[in-house]
Each structure stands twice: as structure tokens, then as C-alpha cells.
Chains A and B, each alone.
Chain A
Amino acid sequence: AAWKGGLRFQVSAALKEGRVTPTELCQRCLSLIKSTKFLNAYITVAEETALKQAEESEERYRRGQPLGVLDGIPVAVKDNFNTAGIETTCASNMLKGYVSPYNATVVQKLLDQGAVLLGKTNLDEFAMGSGSTDGVFGPVRNPWSYSRQYKEKSVPKSHSEDKDANWVITGGSSGGSAAAVSSFTCFAALGSDTGGSTRNPAAYCGVVGLKPTYGLISRHGLIPLVNSMDVPGILTRCVDDAAVVLGSLAGHDPKDSTTIQDNFKPFELPNLTDVSKLSIGIPKEYHAPGLSSEILALWSKAADLFKNAGAKVIEVSLPHTCYSIVCYHVLCTAEVASNMARFDGLEYGHRSDMNKSTESMYAATRREGFNDVVRGRILSGNYFLLKQNYENYFIKAQKVRRLIANDFVKVFRSGVDILLTPTTLSDAVPYTEFIKEDNRTRSAQDDILTQAANMAGLPAINVPTALSERGLPVGLQFIGHSFQEKQLLTVAKWFEKQVKFPTIQLEEVKRHDHDVFQHQKSASFS
């Protein structure tokens, strides 16, 4: 079958027309998951239930009654979303063996649409990190490490050197989800985004990563990190697919009172041809220290692309950008200190054998269950929340948060429609290099370009743009007005069409199933 890239309704159309069946699709994905196991993208593969869901979907297609575009589409979910009957670990010893009694709202919505849940993806423990390297199940490997594009550009130091030693990270914390989508083992995946955790790995893995406006998608069932910033994230191979998934997930949820009550209407993205009415803002502070010259050049090229197409491209200023990381550091640790308090070993999760007293049992359980990063954040958070520190740290950070959010309000009010910025400071680094610095330092460095959008609750999306000199993906970020996802995605889709980001060339995928995956520039489903 000829799957021309970028056209809508590819796999979905094929399913409808019977050119491929949901069970075939599911089986191919499951077998590809097995042959790409070295990526360590999945913590749990729900083979039995996935096949059952695929069979049910097939029955619906046979009767000519599919539930929608997502019916029969294999998806993966980050392991910090509750999934009924399937282990949910958050990549932590604290929740190893924990089988959720319920589905997170977003998971339920996907299942209600007939999506086939393949499994739970790997992450940094409790979503704390920017590499997907700090979970108890080990680090996730970026599929591009094994791509022809990367291998061609990397010079082996010696013949005896382990070809594997140079693998690069996925970024994080939703690295497993990004790797899963990037390696074709699923068509869409859920991540979460608190400081950039969906956009960062999306950029490194060359996939679309959407962070929706805070309040648009329900967090019910998403194990919380920072209640005032967390959002479920969407990872797909093209912008159209992200719009489809968004359409099935967005909307008020009575179980999450932080979801707005405005009526949400799913939308199809128009094919924008005229960008002359657009005003693109280039925030100068995003020329952050450490930004690679390659990405700077790409960012500039992108701005020119819009300018040459007739859009108004202007430099703007978001003066408090440089404080967003510090602000995040305080607010995040404070909320973490509160959110992690629920893990005491009594009702669920790991429980220590210590039983001298309730307090000592709690202390031992948490000592055994949490890794250094989590414990460090809990302790820092508690410090900032101490009576003597509350005003100077927590309240102060909340004030700075308002300043950061106001920066965006001012710029958007001045007529700017969309902001264009880099997503990451560089392309993905090798794992051996990444672990030289500690988690907090890394997070502070890597989150600088993505974090402010979470502070302000704004929608933002990473669009894969080009390959770096090392043959690895580089993405650019668009940030939009609150709840204006349609405009944001429309512009992102236009940009995606202009840059024609190349498909990853993976041995495993090529060997695998020629008919489904061959000839496609972007293996989209919508």
C-alpha cells in the first residue's frame, strides 16, 4: 500500500477500507516492540489485553461501526498514568507491583474511542528528570542512536569499540513515550509535561510533542508532580495526529476541578497557505547561554521562512525568562513535598518490614522506595515550606511566577500570535556524557527553554525541524495563546510541511513490516 506522507487518514483509512486489520496492526507493533527491546522504552507490555482490544476493534470495523479515527490505533501511555488492571510504577520502587484499580480519565477516553493500549512507557522516576535515565528500570535509549543517519555521521574510535557505547539519550521525562512513537511501535503516546517533559524528548527523538493549555485536559489519574503545572502531553509523528488525539482528550472532567468548563470542540486543522496575517514573536531571552550554534542557525532560518512567506516576524522580550528555572525549582520541590506525602506504605505501593511504629514504618518505606532525586526534592521542598522560609522562598517564587506569566500576557496583547523558540539547547547527548552531571543540574540546564510555558500555563508544541550535523533530530518550539490550540497547531502544521523532516531509517523497522511502514514520510494515522 502506498502511504504518502502528510496525507490525513492514512492508517485509519486503511483500517476502514480493510487493507489492514486492527489485530494485524497490533501484532506488528507488539513484535516491533520485542525487536526494539534494547531501547527500553516500555516498562510493561500489555500483550493480552491489547490483542483483545484489537479483536474487539476488528469486530466493530467488520460491522462497519468503528468508534472513530482512533479505533484500532495502537497507543502507549507513560507509566505515571493509572491504568486499570495494569501495573503503574512511575519507574519507582515505591510503586513496583502497584496495579491501578482505575483508569486515568485520558486513558479511559482513549479506550472509549477504541484505541489499543500496547503498554506503559519508561520515564525518569516520578517524572523527575530531563533524560529518562533515572528510573529503576534503567535508561531509555534514543532510537536515533541506531539510525542510519546517526551511524553515518559517527566516527567509531576503534574497531573494537562497542558500537553500542555511543547511544544517545531520549531526553525526559517522557522518554519512553517519545522513543515508542519515534521507533514506530505505536502511533501516538501520552506523556506528561511539567517543565518540558513532553517537548524535550519530542525534540531529541524527532517527534511532535504537544503540551496543551493547563486546564484543557484532565489530570485525573495522572500521578501528580506539580498540581499547578502538570498537564498530560501528546506525542505523535505529525501535527495532524496530535490534533486528533487532542480532540479525543480535551474537555471538562468533573473528576478534575482544574479543567475549565468551556465547551471544547474537536477541530480539523486547515491547510494554511497564507501566513501574511500572522505575527510571529522571537523572544530574545531564548537565545540562552549554551544554545548550540547549530540550533541558533536553525531558529534563524525558521524565522526567515516565516518572513519570506509574508508573516510579520518581530523580536520580543520576556524579561523574566532567566528566573523561570529558579522559580520552578522552588515551586516544584514544594509541591512535590506535598504530593509525595501520600506514599506511606499503608494503602498501596511498597511497604517496609519495619514495624516498630507508624512513623518509623513510613520513614523506612520512603527511604527504601524513593531514589535520591525524589528524596532530594522532598527535602528541599520541605525546607522552602518551613515557617521561617515560607515567605522568602515559596511566596516569593509565586510572585516571580506571576511576573513570568505577565511577560507572556504583555507580548500576546501587543499583537503577537505565536512565539517561535528553540526547544532544546542542543541535539541529544550520549548517555555517558549526560550522566556526568547530576539530575538537578541537568534539569536546570535542559528545562530553560520549555519551563516558562508551564509557569504561564500556555500551550506549546515541539515540531521536528531538521537533523543536526551528528545526524540527530533538532526541533523548534511554538508557544501560543491560552486555549488557542487550533491556531497553534495550524501554524505548526504549516511549518512542518515546509521543513519536511526526514523519516528515521531504522534497521529493525525496515526488516519488519514493509507494507505498513514503507514509503511513508511520516507514519501518521490520521
Chain B
Amino acid sequence: QKVTVDVLDHLERLALVDFRDSEGVERLQKAIRFADQLREVNTDGVEPMDSVLEDRCLYLREDDVTEGNCTKELLKNAREKVEEYFVAPPGNIPLPKLEERESFLQSS
């Protein structure tokens, strides 16, 4: 069962990383085949496990501000900034469609 180009494209958009070449796609195919081995296990009546600490009540601290005021510190690591803002390129512009992208998938 090969993964369709539609799904590959969808994954590239969701993940915002690209497959880059056929090796990348083959890597995914292999990963899926590998994961399919899970089917062999009988899990009837078994509940999914989120965490090994599921039987405990974990600590939640009070919703109080206890630290902060470190704007300068945090901005130091950003490349593009203006005053106290991180600067992003214009939003609400979807990634170009597959046909228009310079994606490897376009040729496959």
C-alpha cells in the first residue's frame, strides 16, 4: 500500500518539512511498513497508556505569575525583532500549491 502523493503533500504542509527526494519518501514507506508490525499484537480490552505516572495525581502549581520581566533576555535569541516584538513575514498566505512549489513531489 503506497502512500499517495496527496498524503505526502498533506504531510509536508502539516509538518512544514519536506521529503526532499525519493529517499525521503522511501524512508516514510519503510517506517510505515515497520510500524505495521503492531498489528500482530492482540490488544483487545487493553487501554492506551499515556504515561507511566497515570495512577498519580501530578502537581499543578497555582496560576500565579512568579517570574518574567525578561523581555530583553528572550529577545536576544531572535533574529528579527522590532522594539519588543518578534517580526514575522506576512501571515495568512498558504504555502504554494504542490504544482507551484519547488517540491520534489511535483516531479513524482
B78 A346 Cβ-Cβ under 8 A: yes
Evaluate contact between A457 and B53: CB separation under 8 angstroms.
yes
Instruction: Enumerate 14 A-B pairs (CB-CB under 8 Å) in ascending A order.
Output: A101-B73, A101-B77, A320-B41, A329-B31, A347-B77, A349-B77, A351-B80, A359-B93, A360-B95, A366-B16, A379-B15, A382-B11, A382-B15, A400-B43
B30 touches A402 (CB 8 A): no
B-contacting residues, A332-368, CB 8 Å: 333, 337, 344-349, 351, 354-363, 366-367
Contact A363:B17 (CB < 8 A) given known A228-B50, A356-B89, A400-B43: yes
Name the distance in Å between A46's Cβ and chain B's nearest Cβ. Answer: 18
**What chain A residues lie within 8 Å of B96 (beta carbons)?**
360
Q: How far is the CA of A214 from the CA of B51 in the complex (A)?
A: 10
Number of interface residues of A (CB under 8 A): 69
Tell whether A278 is near chain B: CB-to-CB under 8 Å.
no
Complex partner residue of A99 from B15, B18, B77, CB under 8 angstroms: B77
A398 in contact with B50 given A326-B34, A376-B31 (CB within 8 Å): yes
| A interface majority secondary structure | helix
> B82 in the interface, Cβ–Cβ < 8 Å?
no
Residues 50-66 of B, flagged 1 when their CB comes within 8 A of A and 0 if not, give 11110010111100000
Would B60 and A101 count as touching, CB distance under 8 A? no
Confirm or deny: A26 has a beta carbon within 8 angstroms of a beta carbon on chain B.
no
B91-A376 in contact (CB<8A): no
Do B24 and A399 touch across chains, with their CB atoms under 8 A apart? no
Say if the beta carbon of A378 comes within 8 Å of chain B: yes
- How near does chain B come to A225, taking the closest CB pair, in angstroms? 15
Cα A356 to Cα B90 in complex, Å, equals 7
B24 engages A379 (CB within 8 Å): yes
What is the distance, in angstroms, from A481's C-beta to the closest C-beta of chain B? Answer: 13
Question: Contact between B48 and A402 (Cβ–Cβ < 8 Å)?
Answer: yes
Cβ B59 vs Cβ A398 within 8 A: no
Answer whether A215 and B52 are a contact pair too, CB < 8 Å, given A257-B58, A359-B93: yes
Residues of chain A with a CB closer than 8 A to B76's CB: 99, 101
Q: Is the CB of A367 within 8 A of B17?
A: yes
Contact A399 B47 (CB under 8 A): yes
> Is residue A395 within 8 Å, beta carbon to beta carbon, of the partner chain?
yes
User: Across the interface, do A323 and B15 meet the contact criterion of CB distance under 8 Å?
Assistant: no
B50, A358: Cβ atoms under 8 Å? no
CA of A347 to CA of B70, assembled, Å: 14
Give A379 to B38 CA distance when docked, in angstroms: 19
Across-interface contacts of A215 in B (CB, < 8 A): 52-53, 56
Q: Mark B78-103, 1 if CB is under 8 A from A, else 0.
A: 11100000101111011110000000
Q: When the two chains form their complex, are residues A254 and B89 in contact, meaning their CB atoms are under 8 A apart?
A: no
- A402 adjacent to B49 (CB under 8 Å): yes
B17 touches A379 (CB 8 A): yes
Q: A363-B18, A398-B50 are in contact. Are A346 and B86 (CB under 8 A)?
A: yes
Which residue in chain B gives the minimum CB-CB distance to A101? B73
What A residues does B49 contact at CB under 8 A? Answer: 398-399, 401-402, 405
Q: Is there an interface contact between B38 and A361, defined as CB atoms closer than 8 Å?
A: no
A380 within 8 A of B: yes
User: For the complex, what is the distance from the CA of A101 to the CA of B7, rounded to whole Å?
Assistant: 39
Cβ contacts A89-110/B at 8 Å (1 or 0 each): 0000000001101000000000
- The answer to the question of B28 belonging to the interface, with a C-beta cut-off of 8 Å to chain A, is yes
State in angstroms the CA–CA spacing of A258 and B93 once bound together: 38
A362: chain B residues within 8 A (beta carbon): 16
Given A351-B80, A358-B91, A326-B37 contact (CB < 8 Å): yes
B19 touches which of A346, A359, A379, A456 (Cβ 8 Å): A379
- What is the CB-to-nearest-CB distance from B40 to chain A, in angstroms, rounded to a whole number? 8
A383 touches B32 (CB 8 A): yes
Produce 1/0 per residue, B9-23, CB < 8 A to A.
Answer: 011101111111001
Contacts of B17 in A (CB 8 A): 363, 366-367, 370, 375, 378-379
| A330 in the interface (beta carbon within 8 A) | yes
For residue A479, CB closer than 8 A to chain B, the reply is no
Q: Are A258 and B35 in contact (CB under 8 A)?
A: no
Apart from A254-B59, A349-B77: 12 A-B pairs, beta carbons within 8 A: A98-B77, A228-B51, A260-B58, A323-B40, A358-B89, A378-B17, A379-B12, A383-B3, A392-B38, A398-B50, A399-B47, A482-B52
Q: How far is the CA of A456 from the CA of B49 in the complex (A)?
A: 10
Q: Is the CB of A101 within 8 A of B53?
A: no
Q: Report B-chain residues with C-beta under 8 Å of the C-beta of A345.
A: 79
* Nearest-Cβ distance from residue A377 to partner chain B, whole angstroms: 8
A347 lies within 8 A of B28 (CB): no
